[in-house]
Amino acid sequence: MAEERPPESETARVVFLPSGRRGTFAHGTTLLDAARSLGVYLESACGGRAICGRCQLLPVFGSFAKHNIESQPDHITAFSDVEARFKTDFGLRPDRRLGCQTRILGDMVVDVPPDSEMHRQVVRKRAEGRKLPLHPATKLYTVAVDEPDMHHPSGDLERLVTALESRFEVKVERCAPSVLRSLQKTLRAGDWKVTVAVHDDGRGPPTIVAAWPGSHNKLLGIAVDVGSTTIACHLMDLNRGRTLTSSGIMNPQIRFGEDLMSRVSYIMMNPDSLDDLVGAVREAIDALVGKVVADVGAERSDVLEAVFVGNPVMHHLLLGIDPTELGGAPFALATSGAQTLAASDLALELARGASVYTLPCIAGHVGADAAAVILSEKPYRDDLLTLIVDVGTNAEIVLGNSERVLACSSPTGPAFEGAELTSGQRAAPGAIERVRIDAETLEPRFKVIGCDLWSTEDGFEEAVAVTGVTGICGSGIIEAIGEMFLAGLLTTDGIIDGAKAAVSPRVVGDGRTFSYVLADGPPALRITQNDIRAIQLAKAALRAGIQLLMDRLGAASVDRIRLAGAFGSHIDVKYAMLLGMIPDCDLDKVTSIGNAAGTGAQMALLDTRARTEIEDVVTRIEKVETAVEPAFQEHFVAAMAIPHKTDPYARLASKVPLPERTASAGAARGGERRRRRRGTPQARTGETQPDET
């Protein structure tokens, strides 16, 4: 204990808003510890080391008669150097404090910011702030209801229904049993004025799903993107169409398998485990709901609607359906259609009458998340040909315009996410995400997540002292390989040129192949020949899928390209094109669209017309199964080259001078080997070991 800190016997009262939870704490207690002891939802992932930034709080100063508290600036410890560094590194809004660094010195009122969110590196999926059309399935109505009359006996519910029809022309046909059970008390508590939530999605009988005495104006919904790795939840105000807060959580199913197919395999091997996987994802969603409603001071019972999107396996597991059929040909979905069900069917604790909508799936590998992306981008409304690519462990590819829309998926594997690579890691603080290599010296410089300085700039060492330089994330790998190619370190076939070892000590022999040392470490971070092969395989699979759709459409080029998802948000599109992940296109027509799946889910949450629209579009989408297309192998082999064996990438070359084409004879052979579709990443990587040198 430092001497300047008051003795522990002194205590202070602290109130957390908006929940109003209060407690008395010893001076010196951190706000994070105080919040936790009261059950105020505040996350911390870094063990109080001022790294994760999840415990942000807003101290509020002034005289709070209601709480009988004088909240003064000197009732907490001053803004510390540690916080200042966090602010420099990661950004921190004015007046915000880190709960883990701020200690109580006197009575305080502290606000948990409604937009408090998890650290951006952990949850990159965020929906943008664009204004979305509002026509929700559930709406609020406040009405006065006639009191019962013995001489004209009718039920309280029936008089309520009559009032709704005469006042709002809303024809209610049903009432949720849970609402009916307490309706008499609700009506009398509000002195015959009541607010009801009516669910009417145009597909079932309009139903009263919630009731409050008197006036009530809080009506919330959640739009959830259930990813294999991350589950992202957006809490929305269904009255105003605004996103109130967004948050994410790791998908706890990860303990059953890192990627989709390993989870499906797990269930195939352990049939009794289905309930465990289903329960894991539902519980995670339920916890996430608890967090987002707490963040804005709302109640679970205010959440009347939920919309879910996800890939087919996540979609099925969320619904409690065994995904085994999705694990092998013919990749049969239990259902491709949109589903409307009750929140209780998914064991979610929302309002008791809450309903759930899941977007339709497109095919066995192209899920409701892809449908949501399509809904968000609406390529079917435009004459220009749009290519949408959402890269995860599977890449979903959509190509189309107002005439036709095609979709497929391609098994890119986890390489783009930095997994299975020698120095790869997930996107997180400390990961290299930007790379430049001097074409003459072959010396690299790089940036890591959480720091705006290049590794060659002054102060970089200090800035990254906390996180270290721990690995290379997906976008870092793409840039590194792109830069290696531009610097002449790589042949067109993707072989690290061993002759360069004479030019730079960074090119080092590695058995029969060579590696490039990107960072000296510790740990030393290298890019090996195997790493490049893994990325080549992934990008060739993606590019071959795109080419299949272009062939099917008879399109020689696309008018614009949209990169969706977390990977798409962080990649520099120039390098994506340089590597030939995407076809040649004007670079300024290639844009990242962020978490378009989340945006699509929000649209469907806010607007029942959007549901009808995407369901209609999905039935018209032409699905292409890459696994059985004979041309896939040919396209795949051509796409192994950098950027491509046959496509000159003329538009790109006009902006970025591409190296002269070079090829080592053996490389193509390795690529031509028949590739095991949907094999494990290890098997695939092993299969394509280059056998030259």
Q: Which is nearer to a copy of itself, 335 or 689 (CB)?
A: 335
Residue whose CB is less far from a copy of itself, 80 or 340: 340
**Phi/psi class of residue 450: alpha, beta or left (left: φ > 0; alpha: ψ in -120 to 50)?**
left
Nearest approach, Cβ of residue 342 and a copy of itself (Å):
8
Which residue, 187 or 596, is less far from a copy of itself as judged by CB?
A: 187
Q: Shortest distance, CB of residue 161 to a copy of itself, whole angstroms?
A: 8
Which of residues 250 and 334 has its CB atom nearest to a copy of itself in the complex?
Answer: 334
55/264 with CB nearer a copy of itself: 264
Interface ranges with a copy of itself (CB under 8 A): 147-158, 173-175, 177, 180-181, 183-185, 203-205, 319-322, 325, 329-337, 339-341, 345, 361-364, 623, 625, 627-628
Rounded Cα distance between 617 and 604, Å, is 14
To a copy of itself, the closest distance from the beta carbon of 692 in angstroms equals 36
For a copy of itself, the closer of residues 183 and 532 by Cβ is 183
DSSP string, 148-212: P-TTS---HHHHHHHHHHHHH-----EE-HHHHHHHHHHHHHTTTEEEEEEE--SSS--EEEEEE
Nearest to 478 by CA among 434, 445, 441: 434
**Phi, psi at 577, each rounded to 5°:** -75, -40
* Nearest distance, CB of residue 316 and a copy of itself, angstroms: 9
d(CA 466, CA 371): 41
SS3 658: coil
178 versus 262: smaller Cβ distance to a copy of itself = 178
Name the minimum Å distance from CB 167 to a copy of itself.
Answer: 19
Q: How many whole angstroms separate alpha carbon 146 and alpha carbon 160?
A: 8
CB of 310 to a copy of itself, least distance (A): 15
Query: Cα separations (Å) of 215 from 160, 199, 304, 467, 616?
Result: 15, 18, 17, 51, 38
The residues that bridge with 447 in the sheet, in sequence order, are 434
Residue number, 111 or 158, with CB nearest to a copy of itself: 158
Strand partners, 525: 519
Residue that has been written with the tokens 């690519």 in this structure: 389
CA–CA separation, 420 vs 423, rounded Å? 9
**Least distance to a copy of itself, CB of residue 428, Å:** 36
Instruction: Please give the span between the terminal C-alpha atoms of the chain, in angstroms, as a whole number.
Output: 63
Instruction: Report in angstroms the alpha-carbon separations of 151 from 183, 187, 245, 443, 614.
Output: 21, 20, 51, 93, 51
Q: Residue ranges of the alpha helices (H) in 554-674? A: 565-570, 573-578, 596-606, 608-620, 631-640, 650-655, 665-672
**Which has the closest alpha carbon to 100: 13, 19, 4, 36?**
36
Closest to a copy of itself by CB, 158 vs 586, is 158
As measured in angstroms, the least distance from the Cβ of 616 to a copy of itself is 14
Cβ distance to a copy of itself smaller for residue 20 or 205? 205
Looking at the Cβ atoms of 130 and 151, the one nearer to a copy of itself is 151
Rounded least distance, CB 553 to a copy of itself, Å: 17
Q: How far is CA 125 from CA 155, 196, 250, 378, 649, in A?
A: 48, 34, 12, 20, 31
Q: Closest CB to a copy of itself among 94 and 271?
A: 271
- Cβ contact 333:192 at 8 Å: no
Query: Which DSSP state fits 659?
Result: P
Q: Are 489 and 528 in contact (CB under 8 A)?
A: no
Question: Half-sphere exposure of 433 toward its Cβ, with a 13 Å CA cutoff?
Answer: 21
Min separation Cβ 151 and a copy of itself, Å: 6
* Contact call for residues 442 and 489 (beta carbons, < 8 A): yes
The least CB distance from residue 628 to a copy of itself, in Å, is 6
SS3 at position 269: helix
Residue tagged 């981008």 (tokens):
377
Q: How far is the CB of 180 from a copy of itself (least distance, A)?
A: 6
Q: Which residue has the tokens 């390098």?
A: 575
We find the least distance from the C-beta atom of residue 2 to a copy of itself, in angstroms, to be 53
| Contact criterion met (CB below 8 Å) for 494 and 641 | yes
* Of residues 88 and 166, the one with the C-beta less far from a copy of itself: 166
- Which residue, 332 or 524, has its beta carbon nearer to a copy of itself? 332
Rounded to the nearest whole angstrom, what is the least distance from the CB of residue 529 to a copy of itself in the complex? 35
322 or 572: CB nearest a copy of itself: 322
* CA separation for the pair 670, 533 (Å, rounded): 10
As separate numbers, helices (DSSP H) first and strands (DSSP E) second, the chain gives 19, 29
| Nearer CB in complex with a copy of itself: 215/335 | 335
Phi, psi torsion values for 550, nearest 5 degrees: -65, -45
Q: In the bound complex, what is the minimum distance in angstroms from residue 372's beta carbon to a copy of itself? A: 17
Query: Angle at the Cα of 163 (from 161 to 167), degrees rounded to 5?
Result: 125
Q: Are 636 and 541 in contact (CB under 8 A)?
A: yes
Which amino acid, 29? Answer: T
Min CB(635)–a copy of itself separation in Å:
18
